């Protein structure tokens, strides 16, 4: 029997503007879906599009929701076109709640550092809290200045800590090579998206030429991208933003089959999407789990929309405690 379907579009201000590679964000737009079956079982899902990553816009997702009417089932999911990855993700999450048991009881979380020199001042306090993986945005300032800062930052890290560098596709070959030469004998966990997604040959070449692992983020924003990089035998890390994937379970099955090295990462979604993503992260089986890219909360002005508070470790109980119904209630209806 089809389930009852509702959706609520949201526009949620952030507590403070978020600086991304695509500019300054002051608010997040997206939508939540709610389904309820004949027996009264309720499921929630979230579409949190990022058009710069190749997803649909929120207007397109909302329009498609209006056309769905008030009943949905698995057949509805199958008929949604491929150009609606975030809506397909939301509906799949709502109709097919994750049931697998967690593979781990807790996972580390990477501490987010601000770009530029401001990062330095934040390391001691975060180290004191217990963070041991730090993420720093690079490729935003002068190359020589940033390379000098890298040394200061490495010197400030606590013993055994690692630094993730995220270039958001900013570098040309020569810049990327300078960074990767420098990274080789420093505690760099990996360098994320050192070159633009379209520059596949450069990315593959760099991954083979330098010892520091490289990670793909913008390059693997959709199911088809993941399949293509797996086919190319990408030797580095896959940064997965589960909220952007039309078919999360298919992507995870392909990555698992390839024994891929995966980092689960936030798309600045609410607790609804964060819960789906984190359930997948906890179900992921690997000998050496990498720290989650979910150190983004508190994020929203309305705390009822937040995922789990950024702490050095996230426990399975923290994920189970997320309450999608509370976030749904916090978002005004149409």
Provide the binding-site residues for Mg ion, judged by CB under 5 A.
Answer: 166, 192, 217
In the complex, least distance from residue 251 CB atom to Mg ion, rounded to whole angstroms: 17
In the complex, least distance from residue 188 CB atom to Mg ion, rounded to whole angstroms: 15
Look at residue 12 and give its three-state secondary structure.
strand
The residue with its CB nearest to Mg ion is 217
Token pair 């810049």 is found at 175
Check if the beta carbon of residue 236 is closer than 8 Å to that of residue 214.
Answer: yes
Check if the beta carbon of residue 277 is closer than 8 Å to that of residue 93.
Answer: no
Catalytic residue among 126, 135, 162, 241: 241
In the complex, least distance from residue 293 CB atom to Mg ion, rounded to whole angstroms: 8
Is residue 241 flagged as an active site residue?
A: yes
Nearer to Mg ion, 166 or 269 (CB): 166
Structure tokens at 153: 């930052």
Catalytic residue among 126, 135, 137, 162: 137
Q: How far apart are the first and last CA of the chain?
A: 26
Nearer to Mg ion, 136 or 328 (CB): 136
Nearer to Mg ion, 46 or 192 (CB): 192
- Bridge-based pairing of strands 313-315 and 106-108 is antiparallel
Look at residue 145 and give its three-state secondary structure.
helix
Structure tokens at 129: 């809290």
Is residue 137 flagged as an active site residue?
A: yes
> What is the number of alpha carbons within 13 Å of residue 197 lying toward its C-beta?
17
Nearer to Mg ion, 35 or 167 (CB): 167
Q: What DSSP string runs through 89-143?
A: HHHHHHHS---PPPS-SEEEBPEEE-STTHHHHHHHHHHHHT--EEEEE-SSS-H
In the complex, least distance from residue 159 CB atom to Mg ion, rounded to whole angstroms: 26
Nearer to Mg ion, 62 or 166 (CB): 166
Number of residues in the chain: 334
Alpha-carbon distance of 48 to 90, in angstroms, equals 9
In the complex, least distance from residue 139 CB atom to Mg ion, rounded to whole angstroms: 11
In the complex, least distance from residue 226 CB atom to Mg ion, rounded to whole angstroms: 15
Nearer to Mg ion, 68 or 115 (CB): 115
Exposed/middle/buried for residue 203 (C-beta within 10 Å: 0-12, 13-18, 19+): buried
Active site residues: 137, 241
């Amino acid at each position: 029997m089809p389930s009852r379907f509702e959706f609520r579009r949201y526009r949620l201000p952030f507590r403070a503007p978020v600086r991304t590679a695509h500019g300054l964000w002051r608010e997040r737009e997206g939508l939540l879906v709610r389904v309820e079956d004949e027996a009264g079982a309720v499921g929630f899902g979230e579409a949190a599009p990022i058009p710069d990553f190749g997803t649909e816009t929120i207007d397109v997702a909302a329009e498609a929701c209006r056309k769905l009417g008030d009943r949905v089932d698995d057949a509805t999911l199958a008929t949604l076109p491929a150009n609606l990855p975030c809506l397909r993700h939301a509906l799949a999450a709502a109709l097919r709640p994750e049931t697998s048991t967690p593979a781990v009881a807790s996972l580390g979380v990477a501490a987010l550092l601000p770009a530029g020199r401001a990062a330095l001042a934040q390391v001691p306090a975060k180290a004191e809290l217990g963070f041991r993986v730090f993420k720093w945005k690079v490729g935003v300032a002068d190359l020589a200045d940033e390379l000098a800062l890298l040394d200061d930052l490495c010197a400030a890290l606590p013993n055994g800590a690692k630094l993730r560098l995220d270039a958001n596709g900013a570098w040309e070959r020569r810049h990327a090579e300078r960074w990767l030469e420098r990274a080789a004998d420093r505690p760099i966990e990996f360098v994320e998206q050192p070159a633009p997604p379209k520059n596949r040959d450069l990315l593959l070449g760099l991954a083979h030429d330098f010892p520091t692992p490289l990670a793909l983020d913008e390059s693997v924003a959709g199911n088809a991208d993941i399949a293509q990089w797996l086919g190319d035998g990408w030797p580095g890390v896959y940064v997965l933003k589960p909220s952007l994937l039309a078919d999360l379970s298919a992507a995870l099955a392909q990555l698992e089959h390839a024994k891929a090295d995966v980092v689960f990462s936030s798309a600045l979604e609410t607790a609804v999407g964060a819960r789906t993503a984190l359930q997948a992260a906890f179900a992921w089986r690997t000998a050496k789990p990498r720290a989650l890219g979910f150190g983004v909360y508190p994020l929203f002005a309305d705390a009822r929309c937040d995922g789990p508070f950024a702490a050095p470790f996230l426990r399975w109980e923290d994920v189970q405690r997320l309450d999608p119904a509370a976030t749904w209630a916090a978002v005004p209806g149409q």
